[in-house]
Structure 1
């Protein structure tokens, strides 16, 4: 299978962009609507360049070094940032990843709404890559995991809280406020305001909650509320994202009310995010940038070094309500004999703290073993141990589908019948 040429379909991401500094205030928004490119892609097709509009009057342009006119630092300042170079070396990023792209990954869309200078496009690509690599690693390593446990494991590896913790571990600091004069090595975002707290315990609220009528009018209708009532595991795998969360779908008809388009654009421009959301977007954008600049192999190595290398005890993600019933259904489905609980040993039966050891057997095979302060507790723990022993089966050699393109023959992995349905 032929590989894709990244430079042909991702020129808007790979080509570094600059902002002209010699423009007047009245041309600022005109430029931001049509940014020009000073660089050319390394391909046969030439990239057309746009010229800066000349001012109508004879006033002198502002100082070119006045970066306060820009919402985010220009890419030309990336090579002069020691903090950015240190981050590039600390993460052992590929040499093909330029500092301009790394600086772009640190700019959240809330800080700069221009898609040519924020990490929105890179974050979408990195979000899909993280979900794909994490899902195939978990499903190939534990092919018998239930759906709920699989979704919880994927969230534990690449969820928002985990990616925010990774950002802190990398030593990335957040700027107090975004701006063109800020060092490009800081994570820039427009932070969300605090909740409706009181000022120094005086009872004076920071926000006015008089517009409750508007919030009540924007509540979803009963048809939209029924979408949130779906709790089945099958619906989460079909309709929701790879975390099992419902995808927010907004259907807005701009043809009947064109003024809504401008309101939505203004709402996006004034959007503020939390520190966790900005950190999550940075890690996802960096994942996508490594994939575009260095290729698939370097991206997968970066994923294994920083995400998949984190320890996760999958056995603690299980929660059984009636383990003895589930074990009986599992044995009936797999053609085993009915499970029977037998006491293996005991100590201190008439004391204050007795201990009973119970084993669950299917014929002559022992499925699980558990101990407890009573016979019922030990029997339930033995059934839980037997179920975990079945679901946590892992093959000796784990291979994922993404390794099939490296020239090695593909060997199919185990496809289990699924979790027990009671």
Structure 2
């Protein structure tokens, strides 16, 4: 071998290049003639650009007075189909389950089936980050948290932060995402592998009788000084002091079905954002997440509603609340019913019924607090709706409340 001049290298770089994906050149590569073994070339992924594990390497040889020539040879023996950790990307086009899933979710045809197949591969099934859904799951988790939080804070600007955390978990929490994946008709494979259908959810299952892996055990130590500000600044989107592990940390770790299902839903949101853009992701989020009914009034848990209502009226400059009996029935019977209203001057703030006067007064104060916290503006414009918009005349500033009553 001898050195090649720079001009000769430059002329080779201007030469026509081979296809970037080894799958495109798979037809030109001679198949192995070993009996009873179907061999394929190394996998390729349309969503990433990484060095090919078993691709074609270029070797430049120079002889005296002869131009440099290029040879292609496989650097390693191709793996059998059954030894691949996940299905080959080229098998996505032949999967009827993937075609049915894309139609069921009303996704446009330009969304590649290879990307949809990648969202179904958990990191426990394939440790290669170029073929599992770990990176897409991280992106989808942040997008879901952002869209859900801004919708709640803009539509209900007076909600206390504990209620906001509970509502976010109700919309995009682990159990909610697992339920959504089940409603979409996602089926799981018994064991991941290259011969499995690309339309099945693939992950390494926990063996029967085994406990939860150490990476999934989330038990935060008790702290007496965990405040609401600390939860907003230092915790995850659910207000938990112990965030779940990164999807990359679950490589070759057995996980339950719920973990793999929520990873798929988050990865699908990330893949839609990468391939189709944010407008379609927002529409998909509105159709499949915000369309689910959630009664936010059931998330409140008042410990001392009468005292909270008194502090609220004092902060807002209202008259002190007064409880008044509206009606009653069966005072001397075994099941009396009292209806009590809470008034601030001539304005009735809330009304409640109970079997005693104290119970009715407490429920009336709780109803008055819910009426205050569940205030919803008439016209709402979320910040993400102005992404990429040159005309800002449609923007309407949102109502910003001074915060919840701090006891």
TM-score bracket for the superposition, by shorter chain length:
0.7 to 0.9
Local SS of the residue matching 2:189: coil
Q: Deviations over 1:20-65 (max 9, x none)?
A: 7979xxxxxxx99xx7758799xxxx998751685799xxx67x8x
Contact kept? 1:107, 1:117, Cα under 8 Å: yes
Q: 1:117 to 1:315 in 2, by over 3 A?
A: same
Contact kept? 1:167, 1:279, Cα under 8 Å: yes
**How far did 1:97 drift?**
1.1
Q: 1:358 to 1:241 in 2, by over 3 A?
A: same
User: Which residue of the partner structure matches residue 72 of structure 1?
Assistant: 86
What is the aligned counterpart of 1:364 among 322, 335, 346? Answer: 346
Q: 1:281 to 1:230 in 2, by over 3 A?
A: farther
Q: 1:18 to 1:376 in 2, by over 3 A?
A: farther
Residue 320 (1) aligns with residue 302 (2): yes
Q: 1:358 to 1:74 in 2, by over 3 A?
A: same
Output the CA distance in 1 between the equivalents of 2:114 and 2:369. Answer: 51
Contact kept? 1:40, 1:47, Cα under 8 Å: no
User: Which residue of the partner structure matches residue 67 of structure 2?
Assistant: none
User: Which residue of the partner structure matches residue 282 of structure 1?
Assistant: 264
Local SS of the residue matching 1:360: strand
CA RMSD in angstroms comes to: 3.3
Q: 1:16 to 1:336 in 2, by over 3 A?
A: farther
Q: Deviations over 1:79-133 (max 9, x none)?
A: 1011110001000012221000000000000000001100111111100000000
User: Which residue of the partner structure matches residue 281 of structure 2?
Assistant: 299
Output the CA distance in 2 between the equivalents of 1:273 and 1:381. Answer: 44
What is the aligned counterpart of 1:166 among 154, 172, 180? Answer: 180
Contact kept? 2:89, 2:114, Cα under 8 Å: yes
Q: 1:395 to 1:122 in 2, by over 3 A?
A: same
Q: Highest relative contact order (Cα 8 Å, sep 6+), 1 or 2?
A: 1
Count of aligned pairs = 353
Contact kept? 2:87, 2:195, Cα under 8 Å: yes
Output the CA distance in 1 between the equivalents of 2:265 and 2:147. Answer: 15
Q: 1:92 to 1:16 in 2, by over 3 A?
A: farther
**How far did 1:398 drift?**
2.1
Contact kept? 2:235, 2:243, Cα under 8 Å: no
Residue 112 (1) aligns with residue 126 (2): yes
Output the CA distance in 2 between the equivalents of 1:235 and 1:38. Answer: 41
Residue 420 (1) aligns with residue 405 (2): yes
Contact kept? 2:336, 2:356, Cα under 8 Å: yes
**How far did 1:330 drift?**
0.3
Mapping of residues 3-402 of structure 1, within 5 Å: 50-51=55-56, 54=73, 66-195=80-209, 225=221, 228-248=223-243, 268-402=250-384
- Computing the radius of gyration from Cα coordinates, the structure with the larger value is 2
Compute the TM-score of the two structures, normalised by the length of structure 1.
0.76
**How far did 1:297 drift?**
0.5
Output the CA distance in 1 between the equivalents of 2:96 and 2:244. Answer: 42
User: Which residue of the partner structure matches residue 10 of structure 2?
Assistant: none
Contact kept? 1:78, 1:103, Cα under 8 Å: yes
**How far did 1:388 drift?**
0.2
- Unmatched 5+ stretches in structure 1: 1-14, 24-30, 198-206, 208-214, 251-264
Local SS of the residue matching 1:327: helix
Q: 1:77 to 1:249 in 2, by over 3 A?
A: closer
Output the CA distance in 1 between the equivalents of 2:142 and 2:369. Answer: 32
Output the CA distance in 2 between the equivalents of 1:318 and 1:395. Answer: 20
User: Which residue of the partner structure matches residue 203 of structure 1?
Assistant: none
Contact kept? 1:17, 1:38, Cα under 8 Å: no
Local SS of the residue matching 1:321: coil
- Unmatched 5+ stretches in structure 2: 1-19, 33-39, 58-71
Output the CA distance in 1 between the equivalents of 2:291 and 2:96. Answer: 28
Contact kept? 2:43, 2:89, Cα under 8 Å: no
**How far did 1:349 drift?**
1.3
